[in-house]
Structure 1
């Protein structure tokens, strides 16, 4: 594989964010972290969280604050975790804004695991080989992720062409394809990745 990690590819959102926040070391580590060449492989979702936390930490440092150990991680959780109440989330936003951080801009710079996958595979040319020893769930998730990334690419190209031709009024945008699975038997709904990680829906737990 060619060394495409020398500098971020800023025509992709992940590369642009890593460049703007001077996260060059993290950029260089991304392929190894995903492939697990230096240890346990890191999931796409964990990679996205790691990038976003690094972005938040850098924003705090640029604003003149010196975040304590774990402070950026906790601030990120309070901004993004679904289990956090609206009141607590607002308090965290206010704390960051009082420190001089543009929270709206900060959150628009956060990346998704889809964007990370697209950047690794299309931007950096990283491929994750699957073998017969690969876990079946992981293998199928990788296959679905590739299809989703291609869907995102087609949507982005089409929207950009329509905008440039004057057929569509649209500012800067990110394209998100959210895959969810609804089980009619136990009436539960999951993000695809969550369903695969937990090994099934509530039906299995009810039968045991």
Structure 2
């Protein structure tokens, strides 16, 4: 298994990602996992931005674990969002930082160790020499569907986290709740409306069908 220590191979360029993997004891197999997620089959392939978030969440989880504390399911993602999302208020971000510091986390160091998608790209391409083939049209459709599903899941997670925090801090009154995230597409040309999943599955709206009918009739 490939070692992540930069010093093991003097020909390798310096890599912040490799240094952070070592510093937080994520293990050499973590680099293999990042490469596999970037170069793997369509169903598991992740974008560089997704990989940066994935990497940073594991760094956060490791930093918290090193203090002897732990987080509940979904809590790591929510705390990471509070630390990094531009839409989070300064007050909520401060609350998250104070909580981590109270648990013994060096938040300033943690945030310095978060990486960007450019750093992930440099690590995969220059440090590990990884490459990937561009997806076929079918793969692009599948990747788009999965990307939208992840976005919908993230929207639900962010909204639930905000509502739960507002409820916990007595800013709103709310009992146990379920959140529904729906995305629909309305074509203003043919008037057809579908859920995003249905639109992608059927390959488009009724505009294409209308064009096909016109071609069969010999009209244009």
Q: CA deviation at 1:7?
A: 1.4
2:104 pairs with 1:100: yes
> What is the aligned partner in structure 2 of residue 23 from structure 1?
26
Quick one: distance in 2 between partners of 1:129 and 1:9? 27
Q: CA deviation at 1:57?
A: 0.4
What runs of 5+ residues in structure 1 fail to find an aligned partner?
139-208
Instruction: Please state whether the residue corresponding to 1:84 is helix, strand or coil.
Output: coil
2:148 pairs with 1:128: no
Quick one: distance in 2 between partners of 1:130 and 1:59? 35
Of residues 65, 77, 82, the one that matches 1:78 is 82
What runs of 5+ residues in structure 2 fail to find an aligned partner?
7-13, 144-220
- The answer (yes or no) to whether the contact 2:39–2:133 under 8 Å persists in 1 is no
- The answer (yes or no) to whether the contact 1:32–1:38 under 8 Å persists in 2 is no
Q: CA deviation at 1:28?
A: 1.8
> What is the aligned partner in structure 1 of residue 4 from structure 2?
8
The superposition leaves residues 123-178 of structure 1 with CA deviations (integer Å, 9 ceiling, x where unpaired) of 0000122377585xx9xxxxxxxxxxxxxxxxxxxxxxxxxxxxxxxxxxxxxxxx
- The answer (yes or no) to whether the contact 1:9–1:123 under 8 Å persists in 2 is no
Larger Rg, first or second structure (1 or 2): 2
Quickly say closer, same or farther: Cα 1:131–1:73, change in 2 above 3 A: closer
2:53 pairs with 1:56: no
Quick one: distance in 2 between partners of 1:81 and 1:91? 14
Q: CA deviation at 1:120?
A: 0.3
Quickly say closer, same or farther: Cα 1:120–1:103, change in 2 above 3 A: same
Normalized against structure 1, the TM-score is what? 0.59
Say how many residue pairs are matched. Answer: 132
- The answer (yes or no) to whether the contact 1:48–1:112 under 8 Å persists in 2 is yes
Quickly say closer, same or farther: Cα 1:120–1:9, change in 2 above 3 A: farther
Q: Runs (4+) of structure 1 moved beyond 2 Å?
A: 36-40, 129-135
Q: CA deviation at 1:9?
A: 4.3
Instruction: Please state whether the residue corresponding to 1:67 is helix, strand or coil.
Output: coil
